[in-house]
């Protein structure tokens, strides 16, 4: 707790010190990545109107209702402070120019598997990076919110907690969500926008529910091949919409969504209700949170290995 408050002070000092700040986040952004990135920009610009603040990275796609990216020249990085939010590994930072800044700060809530930056504020007990940014504002008397910052940060918390359903939702999460809701923005509009799915995604959800395989200990899985994705007119990133789906089914303890990549290997999204699964993910070129991790399987044999390891882990937990 104490350590956190010192880190927050250090981060504020850096923000005060620099005239120009460039904020990055991870590739294939989710609402927490865009919300914390654009929300932090709003917070800084609202409180320090003289600063130049930019947000960069790949196109937010469906999340453009939250924010759009700035385009900047690479010489903008000279004498700039770079803040990277919601990104555990440097590999996943969107826009490789991040390393061109004078200094780097990491703000994240994933396990700190790859430390980077001169200041790291990494709190794996936080539901989301947006929760950390909201906490930074609430606990710093000199900072205030505006309604746009609140809308963005709220969206990220809603996104990463799956509407306050995931176990990472704490009393602090709820307090900070309430703090954000004191600002004037339509939280129902944010929720509605985040609940809308394209028809083809809705059809994919139907397919996953129809075809999910579930074994006797409650390990579920589905393999989405390149052909299936093509038939549904979908790309890899669209499949994030079905990752939490099996969690709503009685008796399912852990599950994996396998998505075949262009090189024919499979990206694995592993989820679990109680059994810790990130050690299994680590064995297969992955990692992440105890109950939510990513990994890779090079072929069907490795898919079976992952499912067997999960089955053993779930059995041991029972």
C-alpha span between 84 and 76 (Å, rounded): 16
The residue range among 15-23, 28-36, 70-78, 295-303 that interacts with Mn ion, by the rule CB under 5 A, is 28-36
How far the first Cα of the chain sits from its last, in Å, is 34
32 binds Mn ion (CB under 5 A): yes
C-alpha span between 166 and 310 (Å, rounded): 20
131 binds Mn ion (CB under 5 A): no
Q: Compute how many residues bind Mn ion; rule: CB under 5 A.
A: 5
3-state helix, strand, coil in the chain (%, to 5): 45, 20, 35
| Nearer residue to Mn ion within complex by CB, 32 or 302 | 32
Vertex 1 angle, CA 123 and 145, to 5°: 70
| Beta carbons of 34 and 25 less than 8 angstroms apart | yes
C-alpha span between 34 and 27 (Å, rounded): 10
Q: Can you tell me which residue has the tokens 């602090």? A: 172
* C-alpha closest to that of 119 among 136, 134, 131: 136
42 binds Mn ion (CB under 5 A): no
Least distance CB 12 / Mn ion (angstroms)? 22
Convert residues 74-113 into a mask of x (bound to Mn ion by CB under 5 A) and - (unbound): ------------x---------------------------
The residue range among 3-11, 72-80, 156-164, 238-246 that interacts with Mn ion, by the rule CB under 5 A, is 156-164
Least distance CB 158 / Mn ion (angstroms)? 12
Token representation of residue 34: 């865009």
Least distance CB 33 / Mn ion (angstroms)? 6
The residue range among 124-132, 145-153, 166-174, 233-241 that interacts with Mn ion, by the rule CB under 5 A, is 124-132
Q: Which of 160, 238, 253, 309 binds Mn ion (CB under 5 A)?
A: 160
| Nearer residue to Mn ion within complex by CB, 76 or 293 | 293
The residue range among 77-85, 134-142, 157-165, 230-238 that interacts with Mn ion, by the rule CB under 5 A, is 157-165
Q: How far is CA 96 from its chain centroid?
A: 19
Question: Which stretches of the chain bind Mn ion, using CB under 5 A?
Answer: 32, 86, 128-129, 160
């Amino acid at each position: 707790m104490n350590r956190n408050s010192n880190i927050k002070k250090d981060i504020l000092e850096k923000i005060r010190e620099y005239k120009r700040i460039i904020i990055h986040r991870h590739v294939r952004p989710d609402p927490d990545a865009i919300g914390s990135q654009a929300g932090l920009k709003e917070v800084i610009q609202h409180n320090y109107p003289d600063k130049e603040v930019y947000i960069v990275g790949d196109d937010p796609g469906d999340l453009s209702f939250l924010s759009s990216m700035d385009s900047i020249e690479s010489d903008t990085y000279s004498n700039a402070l770079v803040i990277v939010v919601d990104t555990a590994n440097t590999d996943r930072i969107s826009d490789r120019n991040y390393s061109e800044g004078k200094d780097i700060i990491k703000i994240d809530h994933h396990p700190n598997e790859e430390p980077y930056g001169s200041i790291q504020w990494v709190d794996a007990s936080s539901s989301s990076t947006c929760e950390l940014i909201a906490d930074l504002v609430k606990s710093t008397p000199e900072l205030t919110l505006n309604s746009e910052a609140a809308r963005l940060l709220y969206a990220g918390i809603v996104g990463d907690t799956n509407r306050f359903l995931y176990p990472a939702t704490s009393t602090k999460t709820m307090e900070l969500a309430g703090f954000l809701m004191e600002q004037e923005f339509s939280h129902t509009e944010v929720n509605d926008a985040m609940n809308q799915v394209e028809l083809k995604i809705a059809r994919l959800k139907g397919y996953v529910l129809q075809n999910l395989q579930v074994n006797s200990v409650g390990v579920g899985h589905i393999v989405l091949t390149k052909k299936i994705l093509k038939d549904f007119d979908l790309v890899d990133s669209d499949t994030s919409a079905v990752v939490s789906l099996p969690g709503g089914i009685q008796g399912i303890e852990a599950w994996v969504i396998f998505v075949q990549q262009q090189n024919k290997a499979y990206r694995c999204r592993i989820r679990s209700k109680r059994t810790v699964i990130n050690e299994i993910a680590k064995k297969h070129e992955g990692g992440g949170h105890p109950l939510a991790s990513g990994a890779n399987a090079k072929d069907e044999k490795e898919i079976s290995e992952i499912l067997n390891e999960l089955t053993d882990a779930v059995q041991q937990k029972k």
